[in-house]
Amino acid sequence: MATDSSPKQEIVVQGISASQGIAYGQIFVYLQSEVEIPSYQVDPDKRIDEIARFDKALLVTRQQISKIQNEVEKNLGKNEALIFDAHLLVLEDQALISETIREFETTGRNIETCFNNVSRKYIAAFAEIDDEYLRERAGDIRDVAQRVLQNLLGQAETSISRLVERRIVVANDLSPSDSAGIDRGSGLAIVTDSGSRTSHAVIVARSMQIPAVVGVRDLTKRVRTGDWALVDGYDGVVILNPSEQTLFRYGKIQSQKKSYESRLLAANRQKAVTLDGVSVTLMANIEKVEEIEQVKQFFAEGVGLFRTEYLFLNASRIPTEQEQFLAYKAVVEGVAPYPVIIRTLDLGGDKPMTSDPDLFPKEDNPFMGYRAIRFCLDNQQLFKDQLRAVLLASHFGKARLMYPMISGAEEMARANQMLDECKQELRARGQPFDETLEVGAMIEIPSAAATVDLLEKQADFFSVGTNDLIQYMLAIDRGNDRIAHLYEPAHPAVVRTIRRIVEDAHRLAVPVSVCGEMAGDPIYAPLLLGLGVDSLSMAPPSIPAVKFLVRAMTMADARALAADVLAMTSPKEIYAACQGFAQKRVPLD
C-alpha cells in the first residue's frame, strides 16, 4: 500500500448499505455526460428518410443491448441478464415510438428532438411514482433513450469498460449498461450519489459479490480519480483517506465477517430447529419464475409470498389466463413438494400498469388508494382470469391463494364468492384443480388486525405484511425522507398488534406467518417466533442468517424475550433487547 508523506485527513461519509462486503483501494470517478441534442426543422421532402433514420437507430440499439445481455449472461449468469429484458421492452413500446413519430409529424422538428421530448416525459412520470421499485424503472428508459440518441447522432456509446485497474467506481448513478461494463476483475466496489437498494447497479454488485453503497450525496464532487477510500457495504459507510488505524480495524472486521458468513452457509444446509427441538418453517418471498433457483439454493421450505403483480408491471399488455397459468404452474412444480402461496394482484396505487394507464388514475395518496383487492373487485374479469389461472396451477403441486390489503370480512366474502364462481366455471370446462385449495388473507391494515376473528370464518391462514401494517398503524409514509426515521418496527403498538393477531388466530386454530421485512431481519425474527408466529417468509438470501440464529436459540428463550418486550414502552428499549438477544447467541468473532 502506498503511503503519503503528508497524509490527507480521514473523512467518514454515510450512505445506504446496498451490497455487503468491505473494499479498500483507489477511486475511479465515472461521470456520465448528457447528450447534446441539436434542434432544427426537417425539410418536408426528407421526412420519410427521417423516420427511416429513427427505425435504424432503434434496430442498432436493440442489437447493442442484446450483445450486452449475452455478455452478462456469459459472465454473471442468466438471472442477471434478465435485467436487460426491460430495456428491450422499452424499444418495443409502441406508445413511446408512436408518440415520437406523432410529435415529429406535428412539429416537423428533427427526430432526435422529438424522441428526447417524449422519452423525458416518460422518465419524469416514472420518477414521480411512490413505489421504489418502479421509480428505478425510470433508469431503464433513461439508459435506453441515451443509447438511441447516441446512435441517431452517430456518437460512440459511453462505457466504463476501459477501466482496467482494480478501482472503486464512484458515480452519480450507474445504468445497467454501465454496471455491465464493469469487469469482474476490475471493480472493487460501487458507490453512487443517488440510487437505492433496488437499483440495477446494486443488482450487478451483488451478482459480482462486491460491496456497494448508494445515496452518498455529492460524493462525486468531493473526490478525484486516484483518491484512496474504504467502502463498508455492511454499514453503508465510505471512508476517504482511511488511516492505518482504521485499515487495521477494518481488517479485523473483514476477517470476522468472512468467518461469520462461512458459518452461515454451513448451517444453512441444516434444518431450522431450535436448541430445545422446535422446528421453524422458513420460506421465501419471490416475484419471478426465475427465482425458483434461489428458493432451492437457500433451502427455503416453500414460497411464502409469490408477488404476481410483477407479471403485469413490465408487460406491454395484460397477461392472459393461459399465460398466467403457465407462470404459476412453473413455480408450483419447481418448488414441489413444498407449498407456494400465490398472492393475487397488488396492482394499482403506487404500482400501476404502464401499458394501460387508464385503469389507474393518478392519486395523491396511492398507498391508501385504488389498489390490490379494491382494484380486483372492481375489475372482475381481470381478477377472475387470475383466480382461474391459480386454480389450474393448483393441480400441479401444493398451491395456496392469498388476498392482499383485505380490510374486513365483507371484502373477503366478495373475493371468495368470485373464487367459487371460477371453480364452477372450471368444473363446467372439465378442467381439474385442487378442490381443497387453501385461501388466506394478508393482515396489513389495522381494521383487518382488529377483526381476525371475523376473517377466520373465511380464511384458512393469515400472513402479516409488516411493511404496510407498520406504515398504516404509525401513520408513517415510509417513502417520505423527512419522516422515514419514524418508521419503527419495534414500536410497542406494532409488537402488541402482532401478538393480538396471533392470539386471535390461534384461538381459532388458524396458522399465522409473517412475510414482511421484519421476518428476514435476525434482530426481529426471534421476537416474532416468541410472539407465536408459525412461519417466516423472506428474501431468499436472508434465510441463512435467520436460520443460523434459530439454531443457536431455544424457543423458550424467544418466548421469554417476547414477554419482556411486551412490558416495554420504548421502541429503543425494545430494539436494544432484540439486538442483545441476537448478539448473545450469534457472536461475530
User: Mean of the pLDDT values across residues 357-384?
Assistant: 79
Query: Model confidence over 474-488: pLDDT tens digits?
Result: 987 654 545 656 778
- The catalytic residue among 114, 376, 422, 515 is 515
d(CA 126, CA 300): 34
Mean pLDDT over the full length of the chain: 85
Closest CA to 540 of 139, 206, 201: 206
Share of the chain above pLDDT 90, in %: 48
Per-residue DSSP letter, 444: -
User: Mean of the pLDDT values across residues 335-357?
Assistant: 78
d(CA 402, CA 418): 14
d(CA 255, CA 258): 5
Residue type, 529: L
Domain pair 11-33+159-243 / 44-153, same fold: no
CATH 3.50.30.10 fits 11-33+159-243, yes or no: yes
Query: Model confidence over 275-290: pLDDT tens digits?
Result: 999 999 999 998 888 8
User: Mean of the pLDDT values across residues 434-463?
Assistant: 95
More confident residue, 91 or 435: 435
* Boundaries of every domain in the chain: 11-33+159-243, 44-153, 280-541
At residue 94, φ and ψ (nearest 5 deg) are -65, -30
- The CATH classification number of 44-153 equals 1.10.274.10
Q: What pLDDT shows up at residue 33?
A: 60
Q: Which residue has the cell 454501465?
A: 178
Q: Count Cβ atoms within 10 A of the Cβ of residue 261 and give its class: 0-12 exposed, 13-18 middle, 19 or more buried.
A: middle
Q: In what order do the strands lie in the sheet with 11-14?
A: 11-14, 237-240, 228-232, 22-30, 167-171, 187-192, 212-214, 16-19
Query: Model confidence over 199-246: pLDDT tens digits?
Result: 556 655 665 678 889 888 889 888 888 899 999 988 889 999 999 999
Q: What is the dihedral of CA 7, 12, 15, 21, to 10 degrees?
A: 70
Classify 131 as helix, strand or coil: coil
Whether the CB-CB separation of 195 and 202 falls below 8 Å is answered with yes
Q: Which residue has the cell 408512436?
A: 98
Q: In the Cβ-directed half-sphere of 271, how many Cα atoms lie within 13 Å? A: 7
CA distances from 7 to 4, 236, 241, 431, 557 (A): 5, 24, 8, 75, 50
User: Mean of the pLDDT values across residues 183-196?
Assistant: 77
User: Mean of the pLDDT values across residues 279-308?
Assistant: 92
d(CA 450, CA 428): 39
What's the pLDDT band for 71 if we cut at 50, 70, 90?
Answer: low
Our answer to whether residue 200 is catalytic in this structure is: yes
Share of the chain above pLDDT 70, in %: 83
**Residue 88 reports pLDDT greater than 90:** no
Peptide bond into 432 cis (omega under 30): no
Q: What pLDDT shows up at residue 263?
A: 80
Long-range pairs for 420-427 at CB < 8 Å and ≥24 separation? 421/384, 422/384, 422/387, 422/388, 422/391, 423/391, 425/384, 425/388, 426/388, 426/391, 426/392
Q: What pLDDT shows up at residue 589?
A: 46
Q: Which residue has the cell 408491471?
A: 313
- The catalytic residue among 200, 376, 422, 491 is 200
What's the pLDDT band for 5 if we cut at 50, 70, 90?
Answer: very low
pTM of the full structure:
0.66
- The CATH classification number of 280-541 equals 3.20.20.60
d(CA 481, CA 479): 6
Classify 188 as helix, strand or coil: strand
Whether the CB-CB separation of 452 and 463 falls below 8 Å is answered with no
Our answer to whether residue 578 is catalytic in this structure is: no
